[in-house]
Structure 1
Amino acid sequence: MKKLFLFLLIMLVAGAWIGEKMVQDPGYVLLAYNESTLETSLWVLLVVTAIGFVLLHWLVNLFFRFRLPTSVLKDWSDDRHQVIAQRKTLKGLMALSEGNWPKAQKLLSQAAERSELPLVNYLAAAQAAHEQGQGQQSDYLLQQARETTPEAEVAVGIVQSQIQLSRGELEPCLANLLKLRQLAPKNSVILKLLKDVQIRLGDWEAVSRLLPELKKVNALPADEIAQLEHTSHLRRIESSVEALPVETEDSDRIKALTQAWSATPKAALEDGTLVNRYTDLLLELGGENQAEQTLRELIKQQWNDSLVNLYGRIASEDPAKQLDQARSWAKKNPDSADLMLTLGRLSLRNQHWGQAVKYFEESFQIEPRAENLAELTRLLRHMGEERRVEQLLQSNLTLVAGGLPELPMPEAAATS
């Protein structure tokens, strides 16, 4: 407000001063060109010149502000095309979510060139083409996404890997994921896809190496990681034998199996299922001594009833030494039903029939169950003690056939 007042004041003073000068001496200007002349006062010429300059300045600004009509029309056309592209993109994404693949691919592809985010259009259109089984078209759309947005290589590569995995193109998918892993080593989506393709390829060794990274980035829930860890170690041990040629000798198979077992992390060795499977494979290949040594070392490191039970099932070359080893464990673990059961079985291998009966009875007294009852009754039957076997089975019928419902029974028949 103050600036406007000051401007008006200056203009008023300047106008008064110029008016006074015009009255005192209007001046005289003569302009001649060929035969034409123009006579005017000096002040009129100055005023016309000033007005002409202002008018020219306004026209120049007006021209550059609004430019030519063709530019205005082009801008209007571009804005309209962009609005149309946005509408088609929205409809295409809706069709994609509804599973209308042909419509989604058509709308998204058409709108891609005019879209502000062509990457979104091309990726979604590639997914729609894949769902229709149009492999070449899907690959073309992914390539278009790369060309329009080179900085989105990771995003495009992830979608491509998902499509390749879905098609069963495992080798190309693996190569693509390994490349992406170099670009984004901590990307959880890439690591999960890499895990999936390695499982499909049966490369459990690679899965085992990938597990620490999956844990580090929390790519999977803890229970799923634990299950995957168990499965990977188990399948890696099994495949160490299965992958060998049919003509491979058992000694070489045992060697390969032992190497795979040695590469297993110590924490995984506590898994009873894993130890049982490794032992079973050794026994199938005739590696009883190797199995006995492995179990003995594991039990020495950490007591485990299931491993002790398994130890009694192994027939090593020196059963007497095996029995002595089990007896040494009884000093610290006298209340282990599994250890008593193992001692009974090892006593049988050494033909100590009376001791075997004693151990089986102790195992049954500590923890009555079908396994130690079966061993005890089988031994007694071979020793000719049928009456005692009948008594044991009759008094422990629920162990032999557990889970029977409560039902009415007839009274015992009267003897004549």
Structure 2
Amino acid sequence: MKRFFILLLILLLAGAWLGQLMVQDPGYVLLAYKETTIETSLWVLLLMAIIAFAVLHTLINLIARARTPARRMRSWRGQRNQRIAQNKTLKGLMALSEGNWWKAQRYLTRAAERSEQPLINYLAAAKAAHEQGDASAADNLLQKAREATPKAEVAIGIVQAQIQLARGQNEPALATLLHLKQLAPKHSYVLKLLKETYLRLNDWPGLNQLLPEIKRHQALPTEQIRKLENLAAQNLLKQSLSNQPAEADSKTRLQAVAHTWQSLPPDCTHDQQLIEQYSALMIEAGSSDEAEKMLREQIRRNWDEKLVALYGRIITSTPHKQLETAKGWLKKHEESPALELTLGRLSMQNQHWGAAIKHFERSIELQPGADAYAELGRLLNHLGERERAAAVATRGFELVNGSLPSLPLPAAKSEPLHNSSD
């Protein structure tokens, strides 16, 4: 209330002051345009300007208010469409999670037509169409997704690749994923899908080239990457010989195997199983001497009982040098059953029968093994020591198959058996 009286007082004082000014000097204004002139006082002109401003302001407000209902109507319609789209999207996603593909496709497609951001709707609807086996509808929905959101090529491409893989269209899926890899080279899920595609296509060179990128971007656990590296390496080594023409000579075949071995990841070249496979392929390629050299170097770098046992299986052009090499290992590995087995086999290659028997027996003493029993039994049998060979064979059989239960057996007879009725 105080403020009102103060404001009223100020207005009265201002009015009195202006009235005094108007009485003292009304002013004079002349407006002329061509032959028309207007004469008035300054205060009348100011009053007319104020009235004109008020009228113009009122007209503008009236026009603005006349257009407001149309804007409100458009806004209401937009909000209503969004509510409908959200409701249908929710129902469609629920139907999708429940496996109701037809219902999901219908709701999601209808929602996409009203939604301002229809990408998710089209992608989910495409999956629903695929689950129904409607390839044409799925492809059409993916195309609509591209038209609606051109910048979402990676997301759309991933869904397309998933659908192609599910259909068994491995080659088209590979083309799609390679394109996506160019767009998003660090995308871990694209790399995973590429890995799966290479496995389905048995494309081992492609997988071998992809694995370093998977490792660099940590798209898969380390142990899984290691298994994939070994799997790719095994198949690449197999293909290195199988892809060679039948008329290829041993040198060409060996070069093919060696080139593949050198292209493998460093971890693979230290894997015992792969080294065994590489050695076997070198022997198959007609390069036993090269296989012996490679194995000798591997054993020198890293002692491995299985590789030592494999060394004794290689038949080279210089078996006496092999035997001397293996004997040199005894200085540091005199308690190695694998080395004793290898020494026995190399002694046989050099026809040192007595030494071979001692090495086989020493191997069995250190660690009974089926190979040592078999080699010893075979050698004794060929030397004419039948009973001793039979005893060794029995112990070897029990080692492999377990001890047999004590059961009654017929007495050994030299004459033919008689019928029970005799």
TM-score range, shorter-chain basis? 0.7 to 0.9
1:363 pairs with 2:363? yes
**Shift in CA distance, 403/411, structure 1 to aligned 2, threshold 3 Å:** closer
Mapped partners of 2:97, 2:278: distance in 1: 48
Q: Please state how far the C-alpha of 1:392 moved relative to its aligned partner.
A: 4.5
SS of the residue corresponding to residue 73 of structure 2 reads helix
1:195 pairs with 2:195? yes
* 1:159-182 superposed Cα distances (whole Å, 9 cap, x missing partner): 122222222333332232222222
In structure 1, the partner of 2:120 is 120
The amino acid that maps onto 1:297 is: E
SS of the residue corresponding to residue 129 of structure 1 reads helix
In structure 2, the partner of 1:265 is 265
5 Å-filtered alignment, 1:176-325, equals 176-245=176-245, 248=248, 251-325=251-325
Mapped partners of 2:13, 2:235: distance in 1: 101
SS of the residue corresponding to residue 113 of structure 1 reads helix
Mapped partners of 1:302, 1:351: distance in 2: 29
Mapped partners of 2:208, 2:178: distance in 1: 16
* 1:345-390 superposed Cα distances (whole Å, 9 cap, x missing partner): 0111111100000111111111122221222222222223333345
CA contact (8 A) 1:108 1:121 kept: yes
In structure 2, the partner of 1:156 is 156
**Shift in CA distance, 56/153, structure 1 to aligned 2, threshold 3 Å:** same
The amino acid that maps onto 2:381 is: R
**Shift in CA distance, 2/301, structure 1 to aligned 2, threshold 3 Å:** farther
CA contact (8 A) 1:363 1:372 kept: yes
* 1:109-156 superposed Cα distances (whole Å, 9 cap, x missing partner): 111122132111111111112222222322222222122212212211
Q: Please state how far the C-alpha of 1:343 moved relative to its aligned partner.
A: 0.5
**Shift in CA distance, 388/246, structure 1 to aligned 2, threshold 3 Å:** closer
CA contact (8 A) 1:66 1:72 kept: no
The amino acid that maps onto 1:132 is: Q
Unpaired stretches in structure 2, ≥5 consecutive residues = 23-42, 412-422
Identity of aligned residues (%): 50
SS of the residue corresponding to residue 264 of structure 2 reads coil
**Shift in CA distance, 236/412, structure 1 to aligned 2, threshold 3 Å:** closer
Q: Please state how far the C-alpha of 1:49 moved relative to its aligned partner.
A: 9.8
Mapped partners of 1:140, 1:52: distance in 2: 62
In structure 2, the partner of 1:104 is 104
The amino acid that maps onto 1:166 is: A
TM-score with structure 2 setting the length: 0.81
Aligned residue-pair number = 396
CA contact (8 A) 2:101 2:131 kept: yes
* 1:310-354 superposed Cα distances (whole Å, 9 cap, x missing partner): 011111122122212211222222111101100100111111100
CA contact (8 A) 2:374 2:393 kept: no
Mapped partners of 1:346, 1:398: distance in 2: 26
Q: Give the aligned CA root-mean-square deviation in angstroms.
A: 3.6
In structure 2, the partner of 1:92 is 92
Mapped partners of 2:191, 2:134: distance in 1: 27
Mapped partners of 1:336, 1:376: distance in 2: 17
CA contact (8 A) 2:229 2:265 kept: no
* 1:8-54 superposed Cα distances (whole Å, 9 cap, x missing partner): 554465578799999xxxxxxxxxxxxxxxxxxxx9xx999978965
5 Å-filtered alignment, 1:380-399, equals 380-392=380-392, 398-399=398-399
In structure 1, the partner of 2:27 is none
Q: Please state how far the C-alpha of 1:202 moved relative to its aligned partner.
A: 2.2
Q: 156-165 vs 332-341, which deviates more?
A: 156-165
Mapped partners of 2:4, 2:289: distance in 1: 108
CA contact (8 A) 1:393 1:400 kept: no
CA contact (8 A) 2:322 2:346 kept: yes
**Shift in CA distance, 169/325, structure 1 to aligned 2, threshold 3 Å:** same
5 Å-filtered alignment, 1:328-367, equals 328-367=328-367
SS of the residue corresponding to residue 317 of structure 1 reads coil
In structure 2, the partner of 1:134 is 134
Mapped partners of 2:163, 2:197: distance in 1: 12
In structure 2, the partner of 1:82 is 82
SS of the residue corresponding to residue 227 of structure 2 reads helix
In structure 2, the partner of 1:168 is 168
TM-score with structure 1 setting the length: 0.82
Q: Please state how far the C-alpha of 1:185 moved relative to its aligned partner.
A: 1.6
Q: Please state how far the C-alpha of 1:290 moved relative to its aligned partner.
A: 2.6
Q: 67-76 vs 258-267, which deviates more?
A: 67-76
The amino acid that maps onto 1:225 is: I
SS of the residue corresponding to residue 155 of structure 1 reads helix
Mapped partners of 1:74, 1:395: distance in 2: 95
**Shift in CA distance, 290/141, structure 1 to aligned 2, threshold 3 Å:** same
